[in-house]
Amino acid sequence: MSESADGILFYGYAFEDEERLFKNEEGESEEWIAIIARQRGIPDPWDDYPKGMDALPYPERRPVVDAWIAANRGAIDAFRDAKKAIKDEFGCDDGYMGDSDGGAVPYIYCDGSRIMAYDYSCRDVTDFMMSPHADQCAEWDRKLDAFMAALGLDKPHATPRWFLTSSFG
């Protein structure tokens, strides 16, 4: 079996410990956007998804799931739109630097700063990527500060900076 490796250049914060940054009340991994949505009182329609559906054989499960989705289409679409608005508002996201042993170390980056070179590919590095204008870095710093504060994350180092890492998949 072969492994693929991606090169990742980003501006933000890199953590040192192999952990999941975002967890729900039960300690399970959760998407950061869902945490913000819950903080804002935006209901997740998938919380009401019928329990036990995955245990049913596909021919029995499919019509029940299709009917549930049809009945909840408005709430599903509204939640998707709310999540997109939250993502756009913060302008940041998370990623995980993975290794060939299955470990994952998290990082936080600003949209527009992450560049990936996928397995056996090259990407151009522009002058702007290596030395963005001071106003762009100030904007990224503001977004990262807001993101970290909203999610209650401690900064792993004093200021954000550029990182070059890889991820195996």
Q: What is the dihedral of CA 22, 25, 26, 31, to 10 degrees?
A: -30
Among 67, 84, 101, give the residue marking a domain's end. 84
Spatial separation of the C-alpha atoms in residues 101 and 148, rounded to whole Å? 28
3-state class of 93 per DSSP? strand
Q: Tens digit of pLDDT for each residue in 110-147? A: 988 887 777 666 767 665 565 666 678 889 999 999 99
Nearest alpha carbon to residue 25 among 10, 47, 3, 2 = 47
Q: What span, in angstroms and rounded, lies between the C-alpha atoms of 113 and 163?
A: 10
Q: Check whether residue 120 and residue 156 sit in a common domain.
A: yes
Kindly state whether residues 131 and 52 are assigned to the same domain: no
Question: For the whole model, what pTM was predicted?
Answer: 0.78
Q: Is residue 151 part of a domain?
A: yes
pLDDT at 113: 83
Number of domains in the chain: 2
Model pLDDT for residues 66-85, shown as the tens digit of each residue? 999 999 999 999 999 999 99
Q: Which two tokens stand for residue 26?
A: 């039960």
The phi and psi torsions of 135 (rounded to 5 degrees) equal -70, -30
156 pLDDT more than 80: yes
Is the model more confident about 154 or about 166? 154
Check if the beta carbon of residue 141 is closer than 8 Å to that of residue 159. yes
- Same domain? For 112 and 53 the reply is no
- Are both 101 and 148 inside the same structural domain? yes
Residue 20 forms part of a structural domain:
yes
DSSP for 28-87 reads -B--HHHHHHHHTT---GGGGSPTTGGGS-HHHHHHHHHHHHHHTHHHHHHHHHHHHHHH
Range of the domain at 42: 37-84
The better pLDDT of the pair 19, 86 is held by 86
